[in-house]
Amino acid sequence: MGWWWPETGSNRRRRPFQGRALPLSYLALAMLSSTRGQVRPSSSCVSLRLPVEEGYADPSDDGSFENVEPQYSNHHGLTPNRMLACGILGELHAMDRQVSMIRARIALGLFIITTLCCAHAQTTASALTPGEARATHAFAAAKKMGPGELYAFLEPMPKGADLHMHLLGAVYAETFIAEGVQQGLCVDPVALKFTQPVSNSGAGACATGNVPAATVLKDQHLYDALVDSFSMRSFVPASGISGHDQFFATFDRFGGLKDHSGAWLDEVATRAAGENEQYLEIMTTPPFTRTATLGYKSGWPAGAYKDATREQLAKLRDQLLAGGLRDEIVDDSKQIADAEAVRNRIEGCTLPDEVAPPACEVKIHFLYQVLRAFPPQQVFAQTLLGFEVASADPDFVGINFVQPEDDRIAMQDYHLQMEMLDYLHSVYPNVRISLHAGELAPGMVPTAGLSFHIREAIDLGHAERIGHGVDLLYESHPDQLLKEMAAKHIMVEINLTSNDVILGIKGNEHPLAAYRAAHVPVALSTDDEGVSRIDLTHEYVKGAEEQALGYVDLKNMARTSLEHAFFQGESLWAAPDDFAHHKAACTAPITAISTPTAPCTALLKRSERATEQWELERRFAVFEASLH
């Protein structure tokens, strides 16, 4: 049969690969030929042909492809999951121009895995536990029936952790509206945003043209419009307004609310418990006003706007600490402690375990968010505060940089900011680092801007995890980068819906398959589930439907999330990211009713990580035993 490319969007009136690199599956096939000529299909192969129509490749031409450069990506090419699992070799015309050998090496790795999948599938099938076999069968049946049935199957499935979640973005718009009413805010019905009451015009008085937030409860049209304005619901891209624009604009629109972090933690924990999650690693930005002021007062080293030496940064750190930066640590820790106390009170977590709600069992730690789209003196000061807070407060287990990666300052100062992290990591080596890197798509920034963010986040920023990593294949030497990430066990936090609505990247355009083929650890996460109107189960469904993930794939991603959570203590597993064997102390089978042996109990007592991992395995045993 023939392969086709829909004539939509940027693909209209273009040949399939014109101006873009060949898809990895296509390059893999080409690499199998050691000379210029045709790759002859075996008797079990399906022939690959390109139909002759406007916008399609013409098989009557000489087989050359124009403008194939490694910095471009194929966004409308062959869909990898449409490639047959076995017998995939097709009849290809010779290429007149040499394609990128870097991408071809990655592609060859993908192809080898693809062509071995049948034999691997037979081996895997025989290696499945009885519970996994039942779950795999039930998963396939649910997937066949549609996304609703698949969601119902996956919702109670144990999911381990959500490691990429912004607290403010995880709250649903309806919650913000209710809080706006309670706090007596006003609403601008044109801009569809909260505004503050006029301070000297009486309680609840709003500026001309604005209305009290309580009005929204009596006006369904305005209520719906506000929900849409605070989220991605009903959003349709228009000329000059992209999903990226809408997404990041929402935060200003529901800004102005007083901090209700305790109630917000309750909301996300309750939702997580309903989906059988155990742990949330939540990004939040505690107060840093005094630190920012101190940063501007201290200034920035002269001539250090592209690079800063360790000596310059060390001197600046000394100035900031001498100026009282540590004074803000107490306030930041108190804010989180107060929020957790409110959450526990709302959920009734002081009650005995047998009557406490499931949300109380969801463990929460925090990552200190640093705002990257500001001048270097503020970014460095806040980053230093983040390292200090994470060193002093066990509730904060690491730091992360946030705000749009394509922001002018964020792009301009990216290397400089990684140098800041490189220096501060040398001073605070025990503070864990996860970084947003590669949350970019072609066209958002110049091509050169796609070529180094992930690598520098790892090599200079000392990131143990990468958030998003979407522009992977536009990085310089992506094959080497993948090998490094696999060797160092650098995990990627995969946010499928976020990448879809913000970047327009989904399906086979997403690099998830490349990460998995290179054995880079990955786990699904939500990013901003309130703004995106999703939950983690939705991401599991999306992974199954768009990325062809199976039950065991999803199970291992849940395990990966706990393997790479910023917990204290050693892993339950004998080798990193190898979920075949437990440590010697815990080799006894984990069932729905088993209790750990004495040696295993000793391991669990000294390791928060192993404790959560043991519980995840117990939950899988319960879930799989419930399937018939």
CB atoms within 10 A of CB 53: 11
Written as six digits, the tokens of 332 are 């930041």
Q: How many domains does the chain have?
A: 3
Residue 578 within a domain:
no
- Residue burial 566-594, b: 16+ Cβ < 10 Å; e: rest: bbebebbbeeebebeebbebbeeebeeee
Residue ending a domain, choose from 224, 253, 282: 253
Residue 146 within a domain:
no
Question: Over 70: is that where the pLDDT of 604 sits?
Answer: yes
Give the CA distances from residue 258 to residues 5, 184, 264, in Å, rounded to whole numbers and listed in that order. 50, 11, 12
Average pLDDT over residues 548-557: 98
DSSP state, 445?
B
CA distance 308 to 285: 25
Average pLDDT over residues 470-482: 98
CA distance 156 to 274: 7
Residue 619 within a domain:
no
Query: In this predicted model, what pLDDT tens digit does every residue of 266-299 receive, in sequence order?
Result: 999 999 999 999 999 999 999 999 999 999 999 9
Residue 286: give its domain's CATH number: 3.20.20.140
Residue 442 within a domain:
yes
- DSSP bridge pairs for 435: 466
- DSSP bridge pairs for 368: 284, 399
Residue 433 within a domain:
yes
Residue 190 within a domain:
yes
Q: Specify the pLDDT at position 68.
A: 31
Query: In this predicted model, what pLDDT tens digit does every residue of 110-163 receive, in sequence order?
Result: 555 544 444 444 344 458 999 999 999 999 999 999 999 999 999 999 999 999
Indicate if 237 and 276 belong to the same structural domain.
no
Backbone angles phi, psi at 523, to 5 degrees: -150, 150
Indicate if 232 and 274 belong to the same structural domain.
no
Q: Specify the pLDDT at position 203.
A: 59
Indicate if 526 and 455 belong to the same structural domain.
yes
559: nearest Cα among 551, 117, 345: 551
Query: In this predicted model, what pLDDT tens digit does every residue of 20-51 receive, in sequence order?
Result: 344 444 334 333 333 333 333 333 333 333 33
Residue ending a domain, choose from 226, 253, 280: 253
Query: In this predicted model, what pLDDT tens digit does every residue of 524-549 receive, in sequence order?
Result: 999 999 999 999 999 999 999 999 99
Indicate if 329 and 473 belong to the same structural domain.
yes
Indicate if 403 and 542 belong to the same structural domain.
yes
Residue ending a domain, choose from 515, 534, 567: 567
Cβ within 8 Å of residue 465, ≥6 positions away: 163, 434, 435, 490, 491, 492, 493, 564
Q: Which residues constitute the domain of residue 87? A: 1-126
586: nearest Cα among 615, 625, 621: 615
Indicate if 97 and 238 belong to the same structural domain.
no
CA distance 598 to 604: 10
Residue 268 within a domain:
yes
Indicate if 207 and 315 belong to the same structural domain.
no
Query: In this predicted model, what pLDDT tens digit does every residue of 342-391 receive, in sequence order?
Result: 999 999 998 887 788 999 999 999 999 999 999 999 999 999 999 999 99
Residue 574 within a domain:
no
Indicate if 105 and 179 belong to the same structural domain.
no
Indicate if 18 and 122 belong to the same structural domain.
yes
Spatial contact of 433 and 460, defined as CB atoms under 8 Å apart? no
Indicate if 336 and 470 belong to the same structural domain.
yes
Indicate if 429 and 445 belong to the same structural domain.
yes
CB atoms within 10 A of CB 498: 29
Written as six digits, the tokens of 445 are 């920034």
Indicate if 240 and 300 belong to the same structural domain.
no
Please report which confidence band the pLDDT of residue 104 belongs to, taking 50, 70 and 90 as the band edges: low
CA distance 117 to 123: 10
